[in-house]
Amino acid sequence: MGRYGFANMIGSVSYWTGYCQVGSPCLPYNQAINYGPLTLYSGIPSRPYYPRGFLWDEGFHNLLMRKFRPELSLDIVASWLDMIDSEGWIPREVVLDSEAHRRAPPLLFEDSTVANPPMFIYLVGKLMEDSAIVSAQKDRLIRIFPKLKLLYTWLKDIQKGPKEGSCQWQGRNGTTDLELNPGTTPSGLDDYPRASHPDSQEYHVDMRCWMAMSSTVMLKLAKLANATDWIPIIQSDQILFNNLTDLDQLHWSDSAKGYFDYGLHSYEVAIVGEKQPDGSVKYRREVFSKPEYRFVDDVYGYVNIFPFLLKLLPANSTKLQLILSRLDDTQEMWTPFGLRSVSKRSRYYDAYNTDTAAPYWRGPIWINMNYLALEALQHYSTIDGPLKILAKNLYDSLKLNVVTNLSNQYNSTGFIWEHYDDKTGAGAGTRPFTGWSALVLAIMGDAYN
């Protein structure tokens, strides 16, 4: 299974040329402008279904590929960075040639006002943890620094939230009544439930954590590049975004005992059908209780454990203890097959977002997020303190569950899948999906550093 996953991942690295379609507020919704000409050298999530580059997916792909050929990973990062515009934006989903267009939605337009998780910064941070790679690839790391700096600065500016140190995913639709909970595709967790009524006052815990990680990596890279003029700026950012007191004030709920998004949120919404004069049924969202500004504390899942996933909490943190104590609760995220995306106690667990949009990040098990959880558990299991044994026990159990289920599904179906059913462990979504699901090989080898 490991050979199959990795061979298909690295064998899918492709090269494209062409133009990316970018929407503009100056054009009708079904028209776009050409951005390019561009070239891209990248892996893909799935040959038959997604033969195109995905920005945050590619960061995960290279967490595995770097273990075999770090030079290839740097080639890929450099190719993506070559598509950056003058502001710092990089296309999220890149469809350049006729083959890719045949497998893409007809109106797949990019939006230069929204971001994606900075997985390439995370990847560069992992590369820099290896002193041999830093020594051998120092010049290349320094050469990509200016564009990574541009990307980081754009992320910080465009994702700024309403309060100091808060961060907000852009691109949510605050006017639609067609979705149970308006999606947040830029976050990578497309339909993960957020505040029910998007507006400019909301802020998101995962984006804050991405910026905390990014500022730490960029400070390290700035020092390597001897960027003396920018080091004071990124040092200030690193202090701001890694301030745990501020993180707690923005996102921690004592009553719900967790980290949560904040925004205009109703606890009671539903998709209802209305019969039309012609006999058809039109579905729309009905709001049964007035939304209020509050924590989105009726949702618990991947987003809520990001301070743990990105290892931002100290090993003796009482809040980390609460996260870990909830992790193996079978009524929350724990299953015999891996961590599910949303707690069974959540109002949105297994909920359709429209009458036809099946739950995507509302229950299914995703291997990229289980990889991050396992990496974090391994990290905390190596630090002396009150949670060392608990983290080790959770690591061993979760690794066994993930690897056993993926191998069972591979043996029975012949495929590695996009995600896995949290009730049965069955493979679901696209197959073969030898993008981030192939990280099972790294999990099998405890290869996170």
Instruction: List, in sequence order, the alpha helices (H) in 281-366.
Output: 306-309, 318-327
Reduced to 3 states, what is the DSSP secondary structure of residue 121? helix
CB 445 within 8 A of CB 436: no
| Residue 394 to residue 269: CA distance in whole angstroms | 35
Which is the catalytic residue, given 75, 190, 246, 328?
A: 190
> Does 446 qualify as catalytic in the annotation?
no
> Does 190 qualify as catalytic in the annotation?
yes
Beta strand 14-22 with 33-42 is antiparallel
Q: Residue 428: which H helix or E strand, with range?
A: strand 427-428
Longest dimension (CA), the chain: 71
Beta strand 338-339 with 334-335 is antiparallel
CB 35 within 8 A of CB 110: yes
| Residue 154 to residue 146: CA distance in whole angstroms | 12
Going by the DSSP 8-state scheme, the letter that residue 430 receives in this structure is S
CB 251 within 8 A of CB 208: yes
CB 317 within 8 A of CB 304: no
| Residue 42 to residue 118: CA distance in whole angstroms | 16
Q: Any idea how long the chain is? A: 449
Q: What is the 3-state secondary structure (H, E, C) of 8-37?
A: HHHHCCEEEEEEEEECCCCCCCCCCEEEEE
Which is the catalytic residue, given 237, 298, 332, 418?
A: 418
What tokens does 78 get? 């450099």
Q: Whose CA is closest to 366, among 330, 403, 417?
A: 417
| Residue 298 Cα distances to 260, 344, 347, angstroms | 9, 11, 6
Instruction: Quickly tell me which residue has 């002396």 as its tokens.
Output: 384
CB 186 within 8 A of CB 92: yes
CB 171 within 8 A of CB 113: yes
Could you list the active site residues?
A: 190, 418
